[in-house]
Structure 1
Amino acid sequence: MDNWRRIDIDAFDPESGRLSAQDLIPPNETVVTLQELQPKISQLRSLASSGSMDSAVKLATSDPPYGADNSTKATYFQAVLEALTQVRQSDIANIIQQLSSEQQDVLVKYLYKGMSVPEGQKQGGILLAWFEKLTQKAGVNPIVRYLSDRRTI
């Protein structure tokens, strides 16, 4: 018993609380279908086309469809990406000022997702402008929360 410091005593405790792979899966959110999300997508597009960009971004970042399937999330993301890319760069800072910290966290998720897909990479300059203004206002806090959150958009 020379290496007693290397013994994993938690392995012998049945109550040790080790995490399984199932424990790492996020809790089930309410399941959202495309039919339920369609009115919100239509409202988002109409706000963006009418020039009410602050309302469009607020709507896009409030209550994201975490519980939707991947195709529904992709459809919603396209509408969000269209709204984000229609904003003039001079208006970005004002819009970010109006967002709550939860909305800023959701915005970071959409920005990262936008930079990871080809449709968003075509609009990389505007997404990076959003990212820059957001980090100037909120610091790295939304990024840290994005990295630690298990829910995906």
Structure 2
Amino acid sequence: MSDWRRIDIDAFDPESGRLTAQDLIPPYSHVITAQELQPKIQQLRSLSSSGDISSAIKLATNDPPYSADDATKAQYMMAVLETLTQVRQADITNILKGLNPQEQVVLVKYLYKGMSITEGQKQGGILLAWFEKLTQVAGVTPIVHYLSDRQTV
């Protein structure tokens, strides 16, 4: 570590002019449209209405539409919110144990997003129950990942 003086710290300063706001946005190869997301929304609603909530939650958290526009994300969020609110509180822990760590992080994103919109605030008790059970199962790791991730749902 004798050459520590050679590190260009100005390269990491966002105000140095080297990085623009566009440079901080992660690149996406394809922007997802509402038409492309409709089959997944229909499948999500079908699984949740048939009572297979565990598969519906796995589907919702498996491949979130990060590269979609805000209107498409909102439409998908409403389908996820409908699914989350149809679960009995006794079943939440078993569903959460079936999720891998990445899916748990995506679920935290949906819970926070749900608590920030009006429709989700009406179902606040259910979303908080999900949040409580998730922290019991996975600890605070998904929350830390959520706080440090730039990808939004």
Q: Shorter-chain TM-score: what band?
A: 0.7 to 0.9
Query: Within the alignment, does 1:105 sit opposite 2:105 as a pair?
Result: yes
Judge conservation of contact 1:96–1:134 (CA < 8 Å) in 2: yes
Quick one: distance in 2 between partners of 1:141 and 1:64?
Answer: 19
Query: Within the alignment, does 1:123 sit opposite 2:123 as a pair?
Result: yes
Using structure 1 for the length normalisation, give the TM-score.
Answer: 0.88
SS at match of 1:42: helix
Judge conservation of contact 1:44–1:79 (CA < 8 Å) in 2: yes
Partner of 2:151: 151
Query: Within the alignment, does 1:56 sit opposite 2:56 as a pair?
Result: yes
Quick one: distance in 2 between partners of 1:29 and 1:114?
Answer: 27
Give 1 or 2 for the bigger CA radius of gyration. 1
Partner of 1:133: 133
Judge conservation of contact 1:48–1:83 (CA < 8 Å) in 2: yes
Alignment of 1:1-153 (within 5 A): 16-18=10-12, 19=14, 20=19, 21-28=21-28, 30-153=30-153
SS at match of 1:32: coil
Quick one: distance in 2 between partners of 1:104 and 1:126?
Answer: 17
Unaligned runs of 5+ in 1: 1-8
Quick one: distance in 1 between partners of 2:62 and 2:30?
Answer: 15
Unaligned runs of 5+ in 2: none
Aligned residues: 142
Amino acid at match of 1:101: P
Shift of 1:29: 5.1
Using structure 2 for the length normalisation, give the TM-score.
Answer: 0.88
Quick one: distance in 2 between partners of 1:149 and 1:29?
Answer: 19
Judge conservation of contact 1:29–1:66 (CA < 8 Å) in 2: no
Quick one: distance in 2 between partners of 1:87 and 1:39?
Answer: 22
Residue deviations 1:62-118 (CA, integer Å, cap 9, x gap)? 100000000000000000000000010000000000000010000000000000000
Shift of 1:25: 1.9
